[in-house]
Amino acid sequence: TFDSSIPIYDVCILGAGFSGVKLLHECRKRGLKTHIYEALDDLGGTWRKNRYPGARVDSDIPVYELNIPEVYNTWTWSERFPDWSELRKYFNHVEQILDLKKDIDFNTFISQAQFDRKSGYWYIEASDSKKKCYAKFFLPCVGFASRLYKPDFKNFDRFKGKVYHSNEWPESDVDLSNKRVGLIGTGSTGVQITQEAAKVASELFVFQRTPNLCLPMGQVSNPEIQKNKKNYSKILNSRFDSFGGFTFTFVDKDTFDDSSEDRQNFYQTLFDRGGFNFWVANYKDIYFNQKANDEAYHFWRNSVIKRVHDPKTAEILAPKIQPHPFGTKRPSLEQDYYEQFNKPNVHVIDIKNDPIYEFTENGLKTKEGNEYKFDILILATGFDAVTGSFKNIDLKDADTGKILRDKWADGCNTYLGLSINGYPNMFYTYGPQAPTAFANGPTCVELQSKFILFIIDHMIQNDFKSIEAKKEHQLNYSNNLKDFANSSLFPKAKSWYMGANIPGKKIEMLNYLQGIPSYGKLLNEVYQSDFKGYEIL
Ligand code: NA7
């Protein structure tokens, strides 16, 4: 039944970011014939696209890297939170050590794939129909932010200036110096761009709908931690004991277990440690008890208003009334974000109270008739996150041919956040219903890869044809995930975690909220029970 002109692989991977690279490396070690298709022109996944001014990772090293000794023993980072250009250099280094490119087709966008129950193989085809293959196992490693989002603004076409979405930043770079710049969006991207644009633009208008409850980054040059690589493997393995896959985790205490003074001291310690400590090494009830969350918010707010000179500006950036429970939208790490708004040429415009009405030739007008003029508009308006990455591909159900994006129109259902009924022998990483949004990427990927490779080994050793998530187990997993989320404060925020950032998208928790250790335990239980919840033929 196979067309002899089409290559047959044991494993076909989509995407050459952290996940794709890790899985290709592991599959090769097993002697599996493995191939990657990558839509972009090089390794690095999200770091090929996110190269806007200030683009930087918010997970600190050494947790944000591959746990491959040949790679980490021969690499040194220059900063605790590296920027996009260093991450690109890192992927060049990865290539030098692992020699991956011979098994990768770049500039190849896979547009359709379907499993054939008779042969037990996937058929996978690129958008130009030229590249195609069969594969026993199909591993989409397409990331959670590969479908960008541009809002549909009234009269947008009228605007005569240049427009750039953060995720489409030109390789030739854009000179913002002495330009009037408009920036829409204050997610982690908008915050990072603000810090850079404010230093060079003649005028910067930051259009803010929701304030970002930013945390102090704690950037460090030439981090000490790399001096002794002997400890690396221990540090990297400790990530699996941390809720967010970092080297720190929630304390085993509720907010009001501590006296007010001890609580303030504890919050300050978390701030001083930098990174995501205040987010995911806080009191364990912070996302379940509104009053507890209020305490954290007020500590955060006080820290900000001290830094912003104009009280009106401070109130927009850090309002007295909490815009959403702290941490239920992704906090960005900042270095000198708040200080930028003390400059006379940097303005934050509150578009929650006075929304954008329409675009004009020279800029935009708000509902109340205020007009802002700029030469360059930057859209930092984010992504159809998590499930969106799967919408770009026609992933056809093995029996009905129905496409996954249509099947998920009313809500997404997966088993264990890595497999889907109707899609046998397919396992994805760092996507829907996994700890994705609440975990450091490489940690999540490593945990999932281990499980996926156990499955592949088991299937090959026993010469099995197919493995597929059972419907009832899938439903159970998805319902439990959503029920747990509903017991938390997360549904109170309109966030991409909940699919609420895209008009018309079903609002539901898209991420596993119980943390890396609990997710790891779950995967281990399934492994120990001979893959409970899967049908193996
Ligand atoms: P985000 O976090 O989705 O941020 C998008 C921002 O754009 C956010 O501030 C939105 O405001 C704003 N936005 C979106 N649509 C509009 C419209 N129509 N009008 C005004 N403002 C709008 O994307 P990022 O790129 O910053 O980050 C994505 C993730 O990538 C990040 O969390 C990291 O994990 C990596 P809103 O908050 O919805 O009011």
List pLDDT tens digits, range 21-76.
999 999 999 999 999 999 999 999 999 999 999 999 999 999 999 999 999 999 99
ipTM value, please give it: 0.99
Pairing of β 104-105 and β 34-37: parallel
Going from the Cα of 210 to the center of ligand 1, the distance in angstroms, rounded, reads 9
* 474-487 pLDDT tens trace: 999 999 999 999 99
Report phi then psi at 184, rounded to 5. Answer: -105, 125
Alpha-carbon gap, residue 513 to 519, rounded angstroms = 9
Q: Tell me the angle at which helices 84-98 and 18-29 cross, rounded to the nearest 10 degrees.
A: 10
* 187-217 pLDDT tens trace: 999 999 999 999 999 999 999 999 999 999 9
Asked if pLDDT for residue 249 goes beyond 90, the answer is yes
Question: pTM for this one?
Answer: 0.98
Share of the chain above pLDDT 90, in %: 99
In 3-state terms, what secondary structure has residue 145? coil
pLDDT at 342: 98
Alpha-carbon gap, residue 181 to 506, rounded angstroms = 33
* Atom 2, ligand 1: residue with shortest CA distance: 187
Asked if pLDDT for residue 173 goes beyond 90, the answer is no
Going from the Cα of 218 to the center of ligand 1, the distance in angstroms, rounded, reads 23
* Atom 15, ligand 1: residue with shortest CA distance: 381
* Atom 24, ligand 1: residue with shortest CA distance: 382
Ligand 1 pocket test: pick from 501, 505, 507 the residue with the most ligand atoms within 8 Å of its Cβ: 501
Going from the Cα of 209 to the center of ligand 1, the distance in angstroms, rounded, reads 9
* Atom 12, ligand 1: residue with shortest CA distance: 185
Alpha-carbon gap, residue 167 to 451, rounded angstroms = 31
* Atom 35, ligand 1: residue with shortest CA distance: 188
Going from the Cα of 379 to the center of ligand 1, the distance in angstroms, rounded, reads 9
**Which tokens in the block code for residue 349?**
């415009």
Ligand 1 pocket test: pick from 184, 276, 348 the residue with the most ligand atoms within 8 Å of its Cβ: 184
Asked if pLDDT for residue 463 goes beyond 90, the answer is yes
* Residue spans of alpha helices (H) in 328-470: 337-340, 388-391, 404-407, 441-461
Q: Which residues line ligand 1 (CB under 6 A)?
A: 145, 151, 166, 184-190, 209-210, 330, 351, 356, 380-383, 494, 496, 501
Going from the Cα of 443 to the center of ligand 1, the distance in angstroms, rounded, reads 24
Going from the Cα of 385 to the center of ligand 1, the distance in angstroms, rounded, reads 10
Residue 351 alpha carbon, nearest atom of ligand 1: 20
Residue 209 alpha carbon, nearest atom of ligand 1: 39
* Atom 10, ligand 1: residue with shortest CA distance: 185
Report phi then psi at 394, rounded to 5. Answer: -80, 90
| DSSP label of 507 | P
Beta bridge partners, 218, equal: none
Quickly list DSSP for 84-106. HHHHHHHHHHHHHHH--GGGEE-
Residue 496 alpha carbon, nearest atom of ligand 1: 3
Q: In the structure, what pLDDT confidence band is assigned to residue 286 with cuts at 50, 70 and 90? A: very high
Other beta carbons within 10 angstroms of residue 2's beta carbon come to: 12
HSE-CB at 250 with a 13 A cutoff on CA atoms is 18
Quickly list DSSP for 164-223. EEGGG--TT----TT-EEEEE--SHHHHHHHHHHHHH-SEEEEEESS----EE----BS-
